Amino acid sequence: MITRIRDVRRARSMTLDEVARACKPPTTPQTVGRLETGTRTVSVGWLNRIAAALKVEASDLVDSPDRAEINVVAVLGANGAAAPRRNGVVVPPRAVLGQVAVTVNASLGDYRDGDEVWCDQLEPENFGQALNRDVLVPRPAGRFIFGRLIGREPSGEGGGKLQLLLPGSGGRQSVVTNPPWIAVATKLVREL
């Protein structure tokens, strides 16, 4: 079986060591390297472990003639655009279980009309992971609030009191008490 583990790992800007530590259970960088080069047989189990560590689907790691690839032809850095040092591909974003999205229909703050903001849902015990990040918070009666989580005062039950700074210049602060969940922005999809 021909795999694309190395291409996907490089597209994710991860080292062999980072992938090895992200595997569950962890493995060694040498094992990941052998799986990449084909000196060790890639079983379905290994394919699933490596895919989970890279946060892609296992099918993204298998070479397929039907797959449309997006080749990296330039790298943009401080000195402008340059040819990449080695061939690479980018992995298109895929939805994962528990993700929700926010679509933008008017430019506001860092977001432009037409943007999609992909968010990962968090339970109350994990709200602290979203500090200083943009979040979507449910409100009563099917309403929502979107803004930067700038503070959290935990309470005995639920998510506690959350302070959010709304996007845009002069954005005001808003407080939400005990939301059942929040969703932290993790991916911005934007057409240019």
All structural domains of the chain, each given as residue ranges with its CATH number in brackets, are 5-66 (1.10.260.40), 99-189 (2.30.30)
Q: Sheet holding 99-103: strands in order across?
A: 99-103, 116-122, 182-189, 134-139, 143-153, 161-165, 173-177
> Cα(117)–Cα(135) distance, rounded to whole angstroms?
10
Per-residue pLDDT at 98 exceeds 90: no
Say what the pLDDT of residue 60 is: 82
Q: What is the pTM of this model?
A: 0.64
Say what the pLDDT of residue 86 is: 77
Q: CA angle 28-87-53, nearest 5°?
A: 30
Say what the pLDDT of residue 156 is: 63
Grouping H, G, I as helix, E, B as strand and the rest as coil, residue 66 is coil
Q: How many residues make up the chain in this entry?
A: 192
DSSP assignment of 77-103 equals ETTEEE--SS--EEPPP---TTEEEEE
> Cα(3)–Cα(67) distance, rounded to whole angstroms?
13
Q: Taking the CA of residue 24 as centre, how many other CA atoms within 13 Å lie in the half-sphere pointing to its CB?
A: 6
pLDDT band at 88 (very low <50, low <70, confident <90, very high): confident
